[in-house]
Chains A and B, each alone.
Chain A
């Protein structure tokens, strides 16, 4: 399983490095979302600081939907998917590999968004431990959900509209826990950040386990 996971993760990251869709399309989209939020809330510093946690996680969530669609598209044409199925890869390994590759991309996005809210919204982070741990766990959980729902939405032409409808409600706990942990990271002492990081950990573990168990069933004809 792990052997196939590394193989698939390497494939996805290599393809992404060549095509640079994440770099030239998704990351600019995320920054654009931050700017649009700032336009809608107004330039007052206090307003932006209090809204920053929500804006960060909303921008991340919307961008994750694009990443999820991209992750599915990396599988190639239907013929390419069939050719790959003939190779005998362990479905759990494929899931883990795609999840790892997508997690790397999400972490890069989180770094960019963190810099964005620090410089654009003037937030001051008091607990980097809570912020980093919540971001890492959220990346794992969101990538698991993205890969699963990418497979769930299949090859349908409706995938572009179906994926957000399916994925975003499932990701709601990540949004709630992420915002709360970000708010805690802005407080001296970290507040109740530990509890919310725990929620993110539970979410990540549960959906990773589900993905390992069920991805193969989703990919089968």
Chain B
């Protein structure tokens, strides 16, 4: 059942992304103020949503589950690492699409507003996690260190966000949910935007599962190698 769901997930996500692209480029109208530039709204916010909330949230949650003795399992370590790896990709895409949008809108490729800065910092925190993961260590020691690093980063991002928010902000206000909870985007644009969130979230899930499966296979290969290593080690003690 799970295999069938996973096999269906990839094509479904692909189709939804194609649908989003078609709707975003050819069906939805241009914006009154931003013109054709608005079509990036069907990609950039969804990428940011996945990077900032889904990927990071998943990494943080799995890290907590790994650190908590009752739920400790290497599964959560693999899932956290997969979420961070995919999250880096989404973060970079968020920053690139944001820059493409920002250049004609603000006149600059980059500006130090709260969301952009927090996103960039998140990317650096992700990269730090991956750097830590590549330090040679016992798998359980590595899992513990990475889980703690993810937890520290999770705690840090909201502090950074509010610090930078008080510092300066130029970013467009929330498109769907502003402080009055009144959507400022309507009709086909709203539905396409929602579709983009679903599509990219499914892409993320599919990529994380794929990465997790690769890790499980790699570790299983190591377990087989360990059994052979134990046998070989014991053979060292047999007089020739």
Contact = CB atoms under 8 A, between A and B. Distances in A.
Interface stretch (A11-19, A87-95, A173-181): A173-181
Contact of B145 (A154, A158, A180, A207): A154
Contacts of A114: none
A3 interface: no
B163 interface: yes
Given A169-B153, A176-B160, A210-B151, 16 more contacts: A145-B152, A152-B145, A156-B135, A156-B136, A169-B128, A169-B156, A170-B153, A180-B166, A203-B159, A206-B159, A207-B152, A207-B155, A210-B152, A210-B155, A217-B67, A218-B145
A152 to B, nearest CB: 5
B190 interface: no
B138 interface: yes
Q: How large is the interface on A (under 10, 10 to 19, 20 to 34, 35 or more residues)?
A: 20 to 34
Contacts, number: 79
A73 interface: no
B128 A180 contact: no
B131 A165 contact: yes
A207 B153 CA distance: 11
A188 B58 CA distance: 46
A195 B47 CA distance: 32
Taking chain B's interface residues, is the majority helix, strand, or loop, or is none over half, making it mixed? helix
A124 interface: no
Given A148-B152, A218-B144, A173 B125 contact: no
B226 interface: no
Of B128, B131, B152, the most chain A CB neighbours within 10 A belong to B152
Interface in A177-200: 177, 180, 195, 199
A221 interface: yes
A176 B156 contact: no
Interface string B131-142: 110011110010
Given A170-B152, A217-B148, A158 B135 contact: yes
Contact of B132 (A166, A176, A180, A199): A166
Nearest to B161: A173
A118 interface: no
Contacts of A156: 135-137
B132 A214 contact: no
Contacts of B164: 176
A162 B135 contact: yes
A111 interface: no
